[in-house]
Amino acid sequence: MERWQEGKVQSSITCAVIKENEMTYAFNNCEFTKINLDKSPNHDYLIKGEWLNTGEDHEVVVKAPDLFKYHQGELIQNCFPYLSNKDREFLMTGTWLEPEEE
């Protein structure tokens, strides 16, 4: 699966565009550890990393079959419906801004 695809902005400048559902941050900056190996091949992965905007540690657990589906091109929200929006955003970008209260 390609992580980057070539794209063009309105001018003639060519730039790299991240695919909409790409877990770029997690793949490049986080540690993946297999856990619950007794459930193999349906084990889980513990994904550990830091929030870019706060430096705080964060952990996310995903099911191995769901990660496989993601690698096959499924959308992140379809592969990991049990994760919060915040956890999915962590996997994609490593950042999260809390919504402002009105």
- Please write the tens of the pLDDT for every residue from 78-96: 999 999 999 999 999 999 8
CA distance 65 to 77: 14
- 1/76: higher pLDDT: 76
- Please name the residue that has the structure tokens 């695919």: 19
Q: What angle do CA 91, 21, 71 make, to 5 degrees?
A: 80
59 has pLDDT over 60: yes
When pLDDT is cut at 50, 70 and 90, the band that residue 67 belongs to is very high
Residue 94 or residue 14, greater confidence: 94
* CA distances to 12, 40, 80 from 43, in Å: 47, 5, 15
- Check residue 37 and report its DSSP letter: G
Query: How is residue 53 written in tokens?
Result: 């905007």
Q: What are phi and psi of 37, to 5 degrees?
A: -65, -20
Q: How confident is the model at residue 99 (pLDDT cuts 50, 70, 90)?
A: low
Q: Is the pTM of this model over 0.85?
A: no
